[in-house]
Amino acid sequence: MQRIPITPEGYKRLKEELERLLKVERPRVMQAIAEARAHGDLSENAEYHAAKERQAFIEARIREIQDRIARAQVIDPSRLSLDSVAFGARVKVSDTETSEEKVFHIVGPDEIDVKAGRISINSPVARSLIGKSVGDIVTVKAPSGTIEYEILEINFE
């Protein structure tokens, strides 16, 4: 079984989503199916078919989350004190061409939120940063072209 790295916050979010699906969403959709059945002819009952589709989606998501939780390897970055970039690091960089600063938080694949700066450890940017130190220049080959970043800070909070 392949382990999936995840931060404690990401693991907590997965557990909360699973809990919500099991205790709120699943019972709600079961009730909707029961109510739609009570209306009679199921072949032309749009509410019934919509509820069944929703049920299939919820059940698939529950199985997916349970699998992710079973394979999760929780890594707490606050327990790391490294001088180089690793999983869980928040890395402040400066674009060497534009001097624009960005902060990337390197997380597991289940925690990605590009707008919040959380990037997958498997992304081209993260792969370029891993193992590098403050002051290093890294080259990232992105679909939009090549970008060079200087690492300004590494933080494991």
- 121 contact partners, CB below 8 Å, separation of at least 6: 5, 87, 106, 107, 108, 109, 127, 130
Beta-bridge partner residues of 148: 139
124/31 Cα distance (integer angstroms): 45
Say if CB 84 and CB 133 are below 8 A apart: yes
Strand, helix or coil for residue 22:
helix
* pLDDT tens readout for residues 69-98: 999 999 887 777 678 899 999 999 999 989
Domains located in the chain, CATH noted: 4-74 (1.10.287.180), 77-155 (3.10.50.30)
120/90 Cα distance (integer angstroms): 12
Q: Looking at residue 133, what DSSP letter applies?
A: B
The model's pTM? 0.75
* pLDDT tens readout for residues 1-60: 788 899 999 999 999 999 999 999 999 999 988 888 887 766 777 888 889 999 999 999
Beta-bridge partner residues of 95: 149
